[in-house]
């Protein structure tokens, strides 16, 4: 199933071979509720409970590709959710720090990522992801997997020089745009809007 997802997102334009390999190696069916497992191979978001979703595989792959990971980066993920995006990142980065505000989701993701998947380069915490993870900052990359009305200032502050951040931004409940931020050595931030998306709101 995961290999089929990798072929599917490649057909939609994902080109980074490392990202495609990470998608192929990450069994999405592990990260969805039992009732949804027959749909785990579909390229669409799925409900995971508590008003949250696991993102469409193409969006996971696209956001990951935009981070331009080389394997040396420390990555902050805001919104662990099911843990699927976290698992993909962990196969591509040196270390992943992930924050989830919904405690039952955080507990389930912890069991999957550290127990079932055996990923040793992941650290998880329950809390307000919009505040980041100050004591572990700065981060080379930041990915936000829930929609914010504007880019959270604390996350920009925690992005390292030459870092990249991707975040869905927009005031509308059902429509946002993926925004990519680059931070220069002098701290100046450049923002580029990439494509329209629809994410649950950042809580």
Q: Are 28 and 2 in contact (CB under 8 A)?
A: yes
CB 58 within 8 Å of CB 14: yes
170, 198 contact by CB (below 8 A): no
- Which of 202, 160, 201 minimizes the C-alpha distance to 181? 160
Which position among 2, 39, 55, 82 bears the catalytic label? 55
CA–CA distance, 33 with 121 (Å, rounded to integer)? 24
CA-to-CA distance for 41 and 167, rounded, in angstroms?
A: 25
197, 178 Cβ separation under 8 angstroms: yes
For the question of residue 2 being annotated catalytic, the response is no
Residues labelled catalytic: 55
């Amino acid at each position: 199933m995961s290999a089929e997802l990798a072929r599917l997102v490649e057909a939609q334009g994902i080109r980074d071979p490392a990202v495609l390999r990470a998608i192929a190696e990450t069994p999405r069916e592990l990260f969805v509720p039992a009732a949804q497992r027959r749909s785990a191979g579909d390229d669409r978001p799925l409900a995971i409970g508590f008003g949250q979703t696991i993102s469409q595989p193409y969006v996971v792959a696209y956001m990951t590709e935009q981070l331009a990971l080389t394997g040396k980066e420390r990555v902050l993920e805001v919104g662990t959710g099911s843990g699927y995006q976290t698992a993909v990142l962990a196969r591509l980065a040196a270390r992943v720090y992930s924050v989830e505000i919904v405690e039952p989701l955080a507990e389930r993701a912890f069991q999957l990522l550290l127990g079932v998947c055996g990923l040793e380069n992941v650290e998880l915490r329950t809390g307000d992801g919009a505040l980041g993870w100050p004591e572990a900052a700065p981060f080379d990359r930041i990915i936000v997997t829930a929609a914010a009305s504007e880019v959270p200032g604390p996350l920009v502050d925690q992005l390292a020089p030459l870092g990249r951040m991707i975040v869905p931004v927009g005031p509308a409940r059902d429509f946002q745009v993926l925004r990519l931020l680059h931070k220069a050595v002098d701290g100046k931030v450049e923002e580029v809007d990439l494509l329209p998306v629809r994410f649950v709101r950042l809580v």
